[in-house]
Structure 1
């Protein structure tokens, strides 16, 4: 059976989209744009394959689909801007095989204007077709939230901005097969800016509670109780929680290169969040000193080195910087994570603890960086000599909290 959909880019954005499409009964092929690691388990991938998903290595089949969605990664480059290299490669590969009436959608995080001024010329030049006349072109910000059991593709609204009203409707028809609600933006730039706003919203609000964590510690105030009480307000407040840093694939954007003007709150938020690993290490050293021990030579156990609970994805995890800074202080660092069988920091293998309770009892300090469901935090707080909880996940009074 010929495929209806081609997902170009099989990383943290593309694989969940392909998974949702297969679940909706859409014949789907997937084409890699580079070495990509996705968030799906081996069992989920097997179910996708059984459902008809076909990874392809030859791009020839890209010209036989009705819809092509580009989900290529756009990591931050050395200059701080988003690197569109893989988007460009995907566009050139698709353009050579693009047929009339195909709907092309970009889901990769990009600066506003990318769909019109970057992607469109590549597709038109390579295909000799015209967007909005010969094929449909649209942008839709990805809203993938790995591990979220409450919101999946079906009940997460999809925003769509097409080059023309017809482009928007064609993309809406496709996404209407995956989700209960489609939201139409005025155009691609508005849809692209939705992604910028949503990503920066997360960054700024996490920065606020991270600053509150530092302030409350200095004041001797229980921040976690403050948040518990504040989130009872039924309007004007959404609870965010502090942590050892901000991980994940979402890259905050200040758009200075486009407008010549920084988003000052985003810039400051990145500084605040970027300082959290160092703050955790400072708290760790202080705790050791208060208990008559030095960081130099101390045995420190890190629990959970992924960026999100119950996933193996380590993208942007603050655990790497925390481990590095602890080792620079002379600490002997080990780790435990049920989802990460081997872990290295700057190509230096970090010893993995096989027995969690035994390792915690042996360590001078245990630091909870990620609260995987498999962790019995009550039991852990009893076994650990000294426990620093950066997630507020342990019972009240059972550990030192961030």
Structure 2
């Protein structure tokens, strides 16, 4: 497609990506903007990043750019660093069956462990996952190359894999998650052939390194489409390999508070992303894993004789360890998640003068937000506790003092009927109301 046949302008491409493209081109190499950047520009969306592909090897790229670092073992890439902006540059991929043990290797299930066979642009296109990603913007003449019917599929809103779907999923099981993410992000229909093998092959995600899965979860649930991705992952059996504890809990009690909590966390996270408000993995994992934590705490309490409060502290390490087997959550998020959990255990015990001290905790706001979600998911006593804390947080000094004296009971609003008010005043001096501060 020549320049006058598409809507992409260089003004829409980042200045740093253009610098990389032009330097490669002027040095005698082929250079293309590729994949999601081209796709999103054609759809009128703002690309999150711009990736470049070239016939230059990583070593040749490194010689051209002093700010280059070569990364990756399974899939070697050049990262051109401009402050916080990183332009990823890949060398045209060839077919892995044309390599040797040093450049290409796969395991028994077909997953590629090493993939550094270089080839031509045509071979590179065949190695792309979806046709809508096999789009190349040529910096030499500003034309677009489309492979496998990519432009037609983009216009038709169809997400189609290049090659045999089962084989491509076995090469890299994360492609199943990418299928879900692209379908919801781009509002596209997943091709029947691409969808057919997913349920059968979903278990292959268990073999993916936990560190890589952490990055994939961020893309799935922190980009404004988390709720839609969750439902689609449930439909295709992709949620269980990532969150086995949560999946098992929902399966045991589909109408229980855990399922309601997951739904609320997903929708609330989407809303915050859309409103450009901050979101953090610490709260996300603390909220999702709260009920698995409670289940494990009850097991420990039953086995050891500990009370539920102490058993909950013991259960925190077990739950995080189990989750980190599939998703490697960094310590900078697991530590505050523990703090959020610990404060859940203190809310019931601090509806008195200790509430003022709890309010000063740096993790109070996150823990308070989780308490409100729990109140909505559980109802009953938890809802009453959440209502008390909501009144305390939103109230003025006078109301807070009244709440503290009430010892966990939200005071009734004053009634304009003098008789009822007098009766209420008499009740407040009853023996049963004494000693609540204790």
TM-score, normalised to structure 2's length? 0.25
Larger RCO, structure (CA 8 Å, separation 6 or more): 1
TM-score (norm: length of structure 1): 0.27
Judging by fraction of residues, say which structure has more helix: 2
